[in-house]
Every structure is written in C-alpha cells, then in structure tokens.
C-alpha cells in the first residue's frame, strides 16, 4: 500500500471519538463480566448470551449483505469469524486462572502492538518513530496496571496470561483483515457475530445444556444481554471499525490500550476501587502513548523535537 496523507485535525478528532467510544464500551463490558461472575453465571454462560443476542440481532444484515467473500477471501473470512469470537472465549478461560486486572492489561493493552506488527507485514503500514515512542509509553503502563494493582504472579496465572495474549493475537487478525478488505465496521461485526452464533452455540448446548442459564436470575441475564450482546459485541465493533477506517489499523487499534486505564477509572463509582499512585502514573503514560500512536496532531512535533523524523503516513 502507498503512503497515505496525514490526517487533518477534524479527521483525527472523528477517529479518536469513535475509538474512545468503543473502548468505553469495552471497559464497561469488563466490569459487567466481573459483576456477572459474582452471580450464578459462568464465563461460558456469559459468552453464550453475548453470541446469541449479537448473532440473532445481526443475522438479517448478513443475509442481506452476504459474507463479502469476494473482498475477504477464505482466510480473511476465517480471521473475521475467529478473530471476532475467539477473544471472548480465550479471555473468559483466562479468568479462571488469573485476575481480571491482568486480563484488562494483557488483552486490549498489548493488542495494539500486535496489530502494528501485523499491519506492517500485511498492509505495509510503517512502524514510525512516532509509533515506537507511543508504544514505549503504553507497554510499561499496561504492565503496571496489570501486575502492580493487585494479585501475585504464579505458574497457574501464567496459563491465564497465555489465554489473554491469545485473545489479543486473535483480535489483531480481525482488525487487519477488516482493514485489508476495507470492510465497514457493521459488516465485519455482523459476520463475526453470526459466525460465533453458528460455531459456539451448538457446542454450548451439547456440553452445558439449558440448566445453567435456567438457574440464573433473569435480571442477570438481561444485563449481560444488553452489555455483552448489544453494546460490546455489536455497537462497540461498529465504532471500532470506524476508528480503524479513519486512522488506520495500528493507529485505530491503539485506543484499545486505554481499556485498562478506563476500567480502573470506571471501578471508582461501580466497585469503589480507587487507583493508587502507580495506577495514576500508568493511566497518564497510556493516555499519552495512545495519543502519539493514534496520530494525534501534535505527536509528530513531539518526536521531531526529540530528534525523530516521522514520515508523513500513518
């Protein structure tokens, strides 16, 4: 791909708003999963509710628009379906071994770096000095929130960490496949949702059946249906797709790194958990890093003032 023109301030603002809206929903979704796991719901029940609601909601759209095989190809279609659904299962499985704080750091926090690497290989997006500086701020920040906010490392937790990293890799393939095919956010979200519905639900019914959900309170199921099925699996994917379409794959994905920081902020009113000194420092570092990686209007000037010379593309 050729070098794209620099973003105007208005274009960046639009892309940034879409990215911030998406990550706000993701952060709320993590908090909602935490609340759901305090009830009789299991991680697999929450995934089933998410896939069923989103898949049925978006099925008419897929029937009308198709699978976009002419643009995605078989590999691209697999990347959309598996990359859109597998992160939910992998992160839920990881929560059986490691704390939610580690999930918030290792899945959405590290995913932008994986997208940047894949985008450089598959899309020809340059890994500029600006992006390198941004990631140098993001990675220590997400690690600080994940590993210094509570909990201790151990062999069992490493299993969870592997699942979380797998989630990030899977969603990175989703992001790059969507960008490469120039698929709009709604179409990509619909294909992923329907694919997850068709692949996961039969397995869930065979293994778990209806007894688990039947025991749960309808209010608990309704909350997960709203947050996971409608907001997280549908609306946030559309918003994320718009951010990637405007900013580029690696720049749009950078906003996912805000998820640990936003989750920490949301935990103040919802869970009564106040960030510590390290958390606040990490939040500031992550926010600055996301602004730089995503192509903020002043980012290039900062790098140039430190001796860098970023190219005009994003």
Reported pTM: 0.78
In a domain, 313, yes or no: no
Confirm whether 3 is domain-assigned.
Answer: no
Residue with tokens 């951010």: 243
pLDDT of residue 94: 83
53 pLDDT above the threshold of 60: yes
For residue 6, pLDDT beyond 60: yes
Residue 40's domain comprises 9-305
**For the chain, what's the residue count?**
314
312 inside domain: no
Task: Please state whether 66 falls in left (phi above 0), alpha (psi between -120 and 50) or beta.
Answer: left
The fraction of the chain above a pLDDT of 70, given in percent, is 84
271 pLDDT exceeds 70?
Answer: no
pLDDT of residue 156: 76
Q: Return the half-sphere exposure (C-beta side, CA atoms, 13 A cut-off) of residue 158.
A: 2
- Considering the domain boundaries, does residue 120 fall inside one? yes
Output 41 or 259, whichever has higher pLDDT.
41
Q: Which sign does the torsion angle of CA 83, 285, 252, 132 carry? A: negative
Task: Domain count for the chain, please give it.
Answer: 1
- Is residue 220 predicted with pLDDT exceeding 90? yes
Q: Report if residue 260 sits inside a domain.
A: yes
Average pLDDT, the chain: 81
Which of 52-66, 133-147, 178-192, 255-269 ranks highest by mean pLDDT? 52-66
DSSP characters for the chain?
-PPPPPPPHHHHHHHHHHHHHHHHHHHHHHHHHHHHTTTT--HHHHHHHHHHHHHHHHHHHHHHH---HHHHHHHHHHHHHHHHHHHHHHHHHHTTTS-HHHHHHHSTTTHHHHHHHHHHHHT-----HHHHHHHHHHHHHHHHHHHHSS----HHHHHHHHHHHHHHHHHHHHHHHHHHTT--HHHHHHHHHHHHHHHHHHHHHHHT-SHHHHHS-HHHHHHHIIIIIIIIIIIHHHHHHHHHHHH-HHHHHGGGGGHHHHHHHHHHHHH-----HHHHHHHHHHHHHHHHHTT-TTHHHHHHHTT----S--
pLDDT tens track for 104-126: 777 777 788 888 888 888 888 77
More confident residue, 291 or 191: 191
Residue 310 falls inside a structural domain: no
The arithmetic mean of pLDDT across residues 67-94, rounded, is 91
Residue 1 domain-assigned (yes or no):
no
Q: Answer yes or no: is 34 within a domain.
A: yes
């Amino acid at each position: 791909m050729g070098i794209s023109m620099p973003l105007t301030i208005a274009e960046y603002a639009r892309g940034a708003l879409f990215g911030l809206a998406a990550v706000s929903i993701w952060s709320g979704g993590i908090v909602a999963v935490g609340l759901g796991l305090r009830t009789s719901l299991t991680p697999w029940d929450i995934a089933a509710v998410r896939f069923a609601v989103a898949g049925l909601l978006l099925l008419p759209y897929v029937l009308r628009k198709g699978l976009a095989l002419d643009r995605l190809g078989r590999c691209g279609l697999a990347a959309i379906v598996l990359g859109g659904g597998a992160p939910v299962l992998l992160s839920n499985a990881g929560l059986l071994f490691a704390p939610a704080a580690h999930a918030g750091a290792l899945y959405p926090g590290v995913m932008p770096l994986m997208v940047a690497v894949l985008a450089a290989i598959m899309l020809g997006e340059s890994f500029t000095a600006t992006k390198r500086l941004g990631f140098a701020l993001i990675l220590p920040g997400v690690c600080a929130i994940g590993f210094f906010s509570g909990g201790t490392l151990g062999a069992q937790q490493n299993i969870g960490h592997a699942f979380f990293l797998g989630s990030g890799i899977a969603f990175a393939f989703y992001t790059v496949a969507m960008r490469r095919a120039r698929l709009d956010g709604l179409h990509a979200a619909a294909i992923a949702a329907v694919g997850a519905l068709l692949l996961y639900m039969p397995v869930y019914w065979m293994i778990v059946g209806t007894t688990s959900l039947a025991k749960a309170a309808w209010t608990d199921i309704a909350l997960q249906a709203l947050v996971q099925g409608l907001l997280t699996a549908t609306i946030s994917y559309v918003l994320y797709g718009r951010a990637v379409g405007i900013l580029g794959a690696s720049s749009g994905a950078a906003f996912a790194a805000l998820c640990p920081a936003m989750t920490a902020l949301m935990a103040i009113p919802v869970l009564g958990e106040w960030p510590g000194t390290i958390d606040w420092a990490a939040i500031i570092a992550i926010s600055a890093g996301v602004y730089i990686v995503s192509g903020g209007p002043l980012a290039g000037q900062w790098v140039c003032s430190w001796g860098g010379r970023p190219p005009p593309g994003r």
